[in-house]
A and B are shown apart, each in its own frame.
Chain A
Amino acid sequence: MVPTHYYLVLAGILFTIGVIGVLVKRNPIVIFMCVELMLNAANLTFVALGRHFGQTNGQMYVVFALAVAAAEVSVGLGIIVMMFRQKETIDIDEVHLLKY
């Protein structure tokens, strides 16, 4: 059996890639996709640890996380669409009204 911490390290790598993607990309949709990547890494961690301890808890968390992620995606994309309507550009750097 593959040791559990292999999965954890893998999840960590995926998570970090997602983080860097959030920080570096300028298209909000792509940023959002990287957020989904982070969520998936977390889900992977849950499942791996759930299997490590022999409980279903890990997978239950993932079920709900999945549902929430779906809801969140729909709302988030709605926001992005609104943003595009306002500004006619998809560059997250254009949204800087809180600049000092």
Chain B
Amino acid sequence: MLSYAWLIVWLPLLGFAHNAFAGFLYKDPKAAKNAVSFVAPFVVFASFLVALVLLPAVMGAPEHRAYAGFLPFASPDSPWIKFGGFEVNFALLLDPLSLLMTLIVTGVGGLIHIYATSYMETDKEFNRFFTYFNLFIFMMLLLVLGENFLLMFVGWEGVGTCSYLLISFWYTETANARAGNKAFIVNRVGDVGFVLGMLAIWSVFGTLSFFNAHGTGVMQLAAQHLDIAGNALGDLKLWFAPAITTICILLFIGAAGKSAQIPLFVWLPDAMAGPTPVSALIHAATMVTAGVVMLTRCSWLFVQSTTALQIVAWIGLATAVLGATIGLVQNDIKRVLAYSTISQLGYMFLACGIGNFRAAMFHVTTHAFFKALLFLGSGAVIHSMHGEQDMNKMGGLKKLLPKTWLLMFIGTYAIAGIFPLAGFWSKDSILDSAASSPWGSGLLLYGIGLLTAGMTAFYMNRMMWKTFYTEARFEDGKLPSLAHGNEEHHDDHAEATGKVHESPPTMLLPLYVLAFLSVVGGALMPLFFGSFFDTTIAKLDVGSLKEGTSVIGGPLVGYLLSTIVAVAGLAAARTLYTQRQQTGELLAPDRKRVNPLYRILAAKWGFDTLYDVLFIRFGGQFATKILWRTVDQGLVDGTISGLAKLVGGLSEVGRRVQTGYVRNYALGMLVGVVVIVIGLLATWQNLSAH
């Protein structure tokens, strides 16, 4: 049974190949498109089924952990790289964490695929889109299922590449291409940390596998303080602790790049330049959570280093605050959701930093549900509005798009954390564990987290109000069509009238499923906090780190407080924005220019400006003036051409020997003769010492 595990990964890969060559395989372009729109979601759901079927087998395996080969029908020991002491295998690790992520990726991903077949219907490059989409699923599955850091890294880089390909899908617009570049490059900056972390791990532990049938995986060794040769690492207490901390920090840098934490979050808002299904899949449900998954995978390492945990938690919290504050002033419906994603990712990292990786994974799951729902819903809104994304030009859509409204409503209340929707349970478990932080500062963490939850509720409801409530700030029937790139033809009736219309059922059906999951997702809570994840997520029981006591007195108090805050946020947004029927804006334009708080938030706390000045301007000048002119042209080229010039110069001098006068040549011969005679006399054996 387990020998078929490779299907999980290979089915999307085959889908990728099929979609890529659909133009060749099918003569009729329409047939090709139909085939692609069937195959693409099909392979994803097929992977979902395989994973589901394998779940009992995995739970029955010892330690809930099974290994399978990555190549079809190969054994998990099939070697990939093997030289010196460095061994990495083509293997897949099937355990609760990887299967959970597989189900999320393929389940939610499959739903998004179905949605996308309708959303991207009119796009000329339909096949290319699903080629990339399936490739992304393959890479993401490789990331979560890889048995070792290196395979995970392949998937890591792969999803980064697919993210780039998909963000700049409509590459004919320069802004889209730039957004793709930004995402990829910022990601790569984080990857430096990842690679260095891998190297550090190998040098300390001697292996890159997470877990191993022989008990010699990194996590297993870390738990016992051994290295792969069985030497005790803890004895050398002087270096083990700093080594682990360093490893964790390096890995965290990698995670920060992928999961948009400070200071590497700047790519995510720009990534909204891609089609909405891309934003939903990659930048909400799956890729951005890869960092959290990686941290959870390495939980055995992180629990050994309080310093690393604190760094993760504080940066996570700061990111949560940052995302929420910037989201308060965004007018593009997708940007609001992008910053919301940044904020929620911050919460997940906060949970990791507290040591409660289960809460983080729980939030990953529920976030996948409601964030995908929100993104796809916003996609439906945009589709209905013929490409309009500015909320200031919307309004009053509740009457026109009732189904879309309902779905977005559910999503908003889920993310705001209203009982009994899924977001309530997951967010509260994070806040509750923040209050019981094992390394102190519980009150501060909880307080700021609670405040941010209030802001979350506020800006989400702000979004709802500006979009669906208030009066319409556009003329129905006269909507200009904001084509985004490659649309070949539009729905005739809608285009002719420019009217707002509800989205087709293919688009709405996945949303219903996601809405359902957002409502009942809380029921998964016992799964996360039960024994399901016991063998795969570390417990806090190292040294002085133990579960702390809650500074607020217990989870019930937390539930109460968070509900109050969420309701207050929702109500505040409703009140403020009901009063702004005409413009939809809280501040008048002239006030906006002056208000310092607004300007800071609108400038995204200055990060983009800082990076622009530091790396693009200053870095560019540095690269041009110093590195290029001085070092490359001056030093390197100068040395080479200097050598050439030296030879030339010497030759210039040397050629003067050729005077052309025979007498000079004869003189030269005489010089030679004299030298030889001197040499002979100096070495002649028969010379007597007269």
A residues engaging B (CB < 8 A)? 19, 22-24, 26, 92-93, 95-100
One digit per residue, 1 when the CB lies within 8 angstroms of any chain A CB and 0 when it does not, for chain B 652-689 equals 00011011111100110010000000000000000000
The answer on a CB contact under 8 Å between B670 and A23 is: yes
The answer on a CB contact under 8 Å between B670 and A93 is: no
The answer on a CB contact under 8 Å between B660 and A96 is: yes
Interface centre among B655, B662, B667 (most CB of A within 10 A): B662
Contacts of B659 in A (CB 8 A): 96, 99-100
CB distance from A38 to the nearest CB of B (A): 11
A96 to B665, CA, bound (A): 11
The answer on a CB contact under 8 Å between A93 and B658 is: no
Closest residue to B657 on the A side, CB-wise?
A100
The answer on a CB contact under 8 Å between A92 and B663 is: yes
The answer on a CB contact under 8 Å between A23 and B660 is: no
Contacts of A100 in B (CB 8 A): 655-656, 658-660
Closest residue to B664 on the A side, CB-wise?
A23
Closest residue to A25 on the B side, CB-wise?
B663
CB distance from A87 to the nearest CB of B (A): 14
The answer on a CB contact under 8 Å between A95 and B662 is: yes
One digit per residue, 1 when the CB lies within 8 angstroms of any chain A CB and 0 when it does not, for chain B 566-609 equals 00000000000000000000000000000000000000000000
Contacts of B634-668 to chain A: CB distance below 8 A: 655-656, 658-663, 666-667
Contacts of B336-395 to chain A: CB distance below 8 A: none
Closest residue to B665 on the A side, CB-wise?
A98
Interface centre among B655, B658, B663, B666 (most CB of A within 10 A): B663
A98 to B658, CA, bound (A): 7
**Top 9 closest A-B pairs, CB basis?**
A99-B660, A96-B660, A100-B655, A100-B658, A98-B660, A23-B667, A96-B661, A93-B661, A92-B662
The answer on a CB contact under 8 Å between A97 and B660 is: yes
Contacts of B655 in A (CB 8 A): 100
A100 to B663, CA, bound (A): 15
The answer on a CB contact under 8 Å between B656 and A93 is: no
**Interface of chain B, helix or strand or loop or mixed?**
helix
Contacts of B662 in A (CB 8 A): 92, 95
Contacts of B660 in A (CB 8 A): 95-100
Contacts of A99 in B (CB 8 A): 658-661
A99 to B655, CA, bound (A): 9
Contacts of B663 in A (CB 8 A): 22-24, 26, 92-93
Beyond A92-B663, A97-B660, A99-B660, 19 additional contacts (C-beta under 8 Å) are A19-B670, A22-B663, A22-B666, A23-B666, A23-B670, A24-B663, A26-B663, A92-B662, A93-B661, A93-B663, A95-B660, A96-B659, A96-B660, A96-B661, A98-B660, A99-B661, A100-B658, A100-B659, A100-B660
CB distance from B291 to the nearest CB of A (A): 71
Closest residue to B662 on the A side, CB-wise?
A92
Contacts of A92 in B (CB 8 A): 661-663
A8 to B83, CA, bound (A): 77
A44 to B295, CA, bound (A): 101
CB distance from B657 to the nearest CB of A (A): 8
A92 to B666, CA, bound (A): 12
Contacts of B658 in A (CB 8 A): 98-100
A95 to B661, CA, bound (A): 7
A15 to B663, CA, bound (A): 17
Between A and B, 21 residue pairs with Cβ closer than 8 Å are A19-B670, A22-B666, A23-B666, A23-B667, A23-B670, A24-B663, A26-B663, A92-B661, A92-B662, A95-B660, A95-B662, A96-B661, A97-B660, A98-B658, A98-B660, A99-B659, A99-B660, A100-B655, A100-B656, A100-B658, A100-B659
A19 to B661, CA, bound (A): 16
CB distance from A60 to the nearest CB of B (A): 26
A26 to B661, CA, bound (A): 10
CB distance from B506 to the nearest CB of A (A): 86
Contacts of A23 in B (CB 8 A): 663, 666-667, 670
A98 to B670, CA, bound (A): 20
CB distance from B97 to the nearest CB of A (A): 80
A95 to B663, CA, bound (A): 10
CB distance from A89 to the nearest CB of B (A): 14
CB distance from A19 to the nearest CB of B (A): 6
Contacts of B218-263 to chain A: CB distance below 8 A: none
Contacts of B661 in A (CB 8 A): 92-93, 96, 99
A100 to B660, CA, bound (A): 7
Contacts of A24 in B (CB 8 A): 663
CB distance from A94 to the nearest CB of B (A): 9
A93 to B666, CA, bound (A): 13
CB distance from B651 to the nearest CB of A (A): 10
Contacts of B670 in A (CB 8 A): 19, 23
A95 to B656, CA, bound (A): 16
Closest residue to A92 on the B side, CB-wise?
B662
CB distance from B680 to the nearest CB of A (A): 14
One digit per residue, 1 when the CB lies within 8 angstroms of any chain A CB and 0 when it does not, for chain B 531-549 equals 0000000000000000000
A100 to B656, CA, bound (A): 7
A26 to B666, CA, bound (A): 13
Closest residue to B663 on the A side, CB-wise?
A23
A100 to B659, CA, bound (A): 6
Contacts of B656 in A (CB 8 A): 100
A93 to B663, CA, bound (A): 8
